Amino acid sequence: MSFDLGVWSEEVRPSRAAASETHRRLCAGESAAVRPAAAVPGFYAALVAEFPEAEDATDELSPWSAGLDVGDGHVLMPMQWGRAAKVAPRVIELAGQHGLVCFDPQAGVVYVPPALRAAGALELQSCVGLPVSDPDLETVERAVRRLSAENWFVILEDPSGWYVQVGTGARAGAAAGGYAVEFRDGSSERHYRCVLHDREQVVSVFVDFTRDPATRPAGVTWEKLTL
């Protein structure tokens, strides 16, 4: 089993559905699904300088499970699943440095370069998975809905230190079936908490924050938290 990533150039930020379709077409050999991009050769050179392609099937230095698919406008990378935790974050970082989009088809997440991110972009981090800069609303909702005993927290933060976070289970101080949700508006003096029992209510809190981080999410009763 391999962990796959695709990198290519976009002029505007693609939706998850659009990126998924582009990736599908590239995997099917349709190189015309993306336009040629001068940044792609530079990305590929930097990539293989750190993670060389395998010279043969026994090459343990290479993290790739098969040869890379390299075109004028894209690079498709199948990597060994056990090495994805180390390699994938660096691939995403290199793509951003070269102004390229990186798509993770396993999670359905689009990683966009700084030039395509909104001003004051939020940062999403889950217990399991990679951080996502400037996540779209669907990515945020999916992250919350994937909470579990193993994937037990999600944090969504803006650059000024405002954040909303949720944890489930004993590690979050929540009883079975409960979700401990916190909201902080940039100061320890304005730090609030509530415990919810409906996951969709938690999703709603995160949606509110995504749309307007400067306003305390509505629809729940917050209690001031003193740390």
Residues 151 and 218 in one domain: yes
Question: Could you list the residue range(s) of the whole structural domain that residue 214 is in?
Answer: 123-224
Please give the pLDDT value at position 20: 97
Is the domain of 41 the same as that of 65? yes
The predicted pLDDT at position 58 comes to 59
pLDDT band at 170 (very low <50, low <70, confident <90, very high): confident
**Distance in angstroms (rounded) separating the CA atoms of residues 65 and 206:** 37
Which letter, b or e, does each residue of 70-92 get, where b requires 16 or more Cβ atoms within 10 Å of its Cβ?
bbebbbbbbbbeeebeebbeebb
Are 47 and 94 in contact by the 8 Å Cβ rule? The answer is yes
* Residue 118 falls inside a structural domain: no
Q: Are 105 and 189 members of one domain?
A: no
* 225 — pLDDT class (breaks 50, 70, 90): confident
Out of 91, 112, 133, pick the residue that ends a domain: 112
> In angstroms, rounded to a whole number, what is the distance separating the alpha carbons of residues 34 and 205?
37
- The Cα–Cα gap between 198 and 57 comes to 49
pLDDT one-digit tens code per residue, 76-126: 999 999 999 899 999 999 999 999 999 999 989 999 999 999 888 999 999
- When divided into structural domains, the chain yields a total of 2
Band (pLDDT 50/70/90 cuts) for residue 202 is very high
- Return the H-helix or E-strand segment holding 15: none
What is the mean pLDDT of the segment spanning 21-30?
A: 98
For all residues of the chain together, what is the average pLDDT? 93
Of the candidates 134, 139, 81, 82, which has an alpha carbon nearest to the alpha carbon of residue 107?
A: 139
pTM above 0.85, yes or no: no
**pLDDT (average), residues 151-167:** 94
* Confidence at 156, pLDDT banded by 50, 70, 90: very high
Q: Give domain status of residue 16, yes or no.
A: yes
Residue 49 sits in the same domain as residue 17: yes
